Structure 1
Amino acid sequence: MNFLIENWVLILAAAVSGGMLLWPMLVSGSQGAAVSAAQAVHLINREKGVLIDVSEPEEFAKGHAAGARNIPFGQIEGHKSLPSNKALPLVLVCPTGARAGRAAGTLRKLGYDKAQVLGGGLKAWRDANLPVEKTA
């Protein structure tokens, strides 16, 4: 007991550093782990994953990942373009990844347990030299 009383500063430092190490896992666990562009391509090609861009139509028209379906974030619940098979992996993308993270949480609540976010958003897709399309 004396050890605890005499070394409370060390124990506090150890607890804080442990918490800082666990924090990224706790945060990513609540939002779902982000996938890299290579992992997203693997999900799409090997596991019949669906790429969904949650950008607004104007943003989508300026540039989006090739083959992505546009379902704006505000219309995600019950949208007709969502796959009926809820077991399929969904890869959500937006310009920064922020809206995609919120959309993934919404879709998981709707039963799409394999909804994941493309880490880094559309920029990560472009940085990986993957195809980007523009619409008129």
Structure 2
Amino acid sequence: MQQFIEFATNHWDLFLALLIILLMLSGTNLISVIRGIKQISPAEATQLINHQGGIVIDVREDKEFAEGHIINSLHIPMGSVQQRIAEIEKYKQKPVIVSCRSGARSGTVCGWLRKHNFENVSNLKGGVMAWQNASLPLSKNGRKK
């Protein structure tokens, strides 16, 4: 431990760079934790959808959504969510799962929804990529808003 402290003090610039890189790598999760946004796995998302009537809001752009999305997800691109918040007010009482490609954009949208009093909001950790990696199906048809 003493050597570590000595290294950190002698090479503070390298140590600072390491800390910055670690924070950047964990940034999405760190911000979500600070905001109180729940991160859920694809398996947890399917449980919410199948057993609690959870709704998935996909915040990716049109082209990304058309390439494949979670079945029955609502498509509201991130840039439109704040202007269209009234359209999704009816889902306030349901579990809301927000998804994007990797989980970064959806984390931001979760924060916006929390500010609009959506209590049961979750971010799909790893986004649609994690959904695919879990061998869960994607659809090219669905509700488009």
TM-score (norm 1): 0.75
Q: Unaligned 5+ residue runs, structure 2? A: 6-18
Question: Which structure shows the bigger proportion of residues in helix conformation?
Answer: 2
The structure 2 residue matched to 1:30, chosen from 27, 34, 39, is 34
Match in the other structure for 1:3: none
Is contact 1:71-1:81 (8 Å) kept?
A: no
- Structure 1: any 5+ residue segments left out of the alignment? 1-8, 10-19
Cα distance in 2 for residues equivalent to 1:114 and 1:98: 18
Which of 68, 76, 82 is residue 77 of structure 1 equivalent to?
82
TM-aligned CA deviation for residue 78 of structure 1: 5.0
Among 113, 124, 129, the residue aligned to 1:123: 129
Structure exhibiting the larger radius of gyration computed from Cα positions: 1
Counterpart among 30, 34, 50 of residue 45 in structure 1: 50
Report % sequence identity: 36
Structure 2 vs 1, CA of residues 127 and 43 (structure 1 numbering), >3 Å: closer, same or farther? same
Runs of 4+ in 1 over 2 A off after TM superposition: 23-31, 77-81
C-alpha deviations, 1:3-24, integer Å up to 9, x for none? Answer: xxxxxx8xxxxxxxxxx9xx98
Structure-2-length-normalised TM-score: 0.71
RMSD between aligned alpha carbons? Answer: 2.5
Matched residues, number: 118
